[in-house]
């Protein structure tokens, strides 16, 4: 059970009847002293959600993945871009592993099937508000298998990028703060060749400067410091 007195929440779904049903369920929880939630706003589109989030800074967002205008994954990305610090609990009719995976990867704190809301919503809210992840028990093991099969390990990503041994040498020297001229001398190549390697590295790592390249290479375990 969470310790805070009241949770401020946004309810995001494009069906008015569904939103009212959630309100009724939350009122029931409140009457049973299970949860104290204050719905500070409702939205039926991604734009409206972002606007209300900025205005109200809710502790919790209850979010459907399919909206009449925009979709939940886009909403999750935009919420991350505006540095939303609260919790996001997905309420969705989709039970497929790929939908759950995409939502969790995009920043959701938990996922509840709409068909199980009556029995799972209270526990799910308590769980995510205590900074834990909530997944329905019937799908948790399948989700983690899917996660293992589809998550990119640094090694797999490194091989996909096809970073050459020479590019790796250039990255190592970059991480030491070495100039293009010094890289040229160290590797016995021309300055033009150094620039060509840097252009290739930036393109493969999808970065635009030396500092970003170093950070990306360290994260992908291409180089170490």
Residue 1 lies in a domain: no
Q: Which of 132, 150, 168 is the last residue of a domain?
A: 150
Domain containing 175 equals 154-219
Helix residue spans in the chain (DSSP H): 16-31, 46-56, 72-81, 97-105, 117-129, 137-150, 154-161, 165-175, 180-187, 191-205, 210-219
144 with 195, same domain: the answer is no
Residue 169: predicted pLDDT: 93
Angle at 16 between CA 15 and CA 20, to 5 degrees: 120
Q: Residue 156 — very low, low, confident or very high, per pLDDT cuts 50/70/90?
A: low
User: Residue 2 domain-assigned?
Assistant: no
Residue 77 sits in the same domain as residue 171? no
Rounded average pLDDT over 113-123: 92
Between residues 56 and 77, which one has the greater pLDDT? Answer: 56
Instruction: Give the pairing type, strands 110-113 and 7-12.
Output: unpaired
Q: Of 3 and 188, which is predicted with more confidence? A: 188
Predicted confidence band of residue 155 (pLDDT cuts 50, 70, 90): low
Lowest-confidence pick of 34-43, 134-143, 202-211:
134-143
């Amino acid at each position: 059970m969470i310790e805070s007195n009241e949770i401020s929440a946004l309810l995001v779904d494009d069906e008015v009847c569904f939103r009212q049903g959630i309100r009724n369920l939350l009122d029931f929880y409140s009457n049973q002293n299970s949860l104290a939630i204050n719905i500070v706003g409702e939205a039926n589109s991604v734009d409206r959600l972002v606007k209300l989030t900025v205005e109200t800074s809710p502790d919790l967002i209850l979010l459907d993945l399919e909206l009449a205008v925009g979709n939940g994954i886009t909403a999750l990305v935009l919420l991350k871009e505006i540095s939303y610090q609260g919790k996001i609990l997905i309420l969705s009719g989709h039970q497929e592993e790929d939908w759950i995976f995409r939502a969790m990867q995009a920043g959701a704190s938990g996922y509840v099937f709409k068909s199980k809301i009556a029995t799972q919503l209270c526990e799910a809210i308590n769980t995510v508000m205590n900074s834990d992840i909530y997944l329905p028990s019937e799908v948790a093991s399948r989700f983690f298998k899917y996660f293992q099969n589809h998550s990119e390990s640094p090694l797999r990503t490194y091989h996909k990028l096809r970073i050459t041994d020479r590019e790796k040498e250039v990255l190592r020297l970059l991480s030491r703060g070495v100039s293009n001229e010094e890289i040229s001398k160290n590797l016995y190549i021309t300055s033009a060749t150094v620039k060509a390697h840097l252009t290739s590295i930036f393109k493969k790592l999808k970065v635009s400067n030396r500092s970003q390249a170093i950070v990306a290479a360290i994260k992908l375990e291409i180089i170490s410091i």
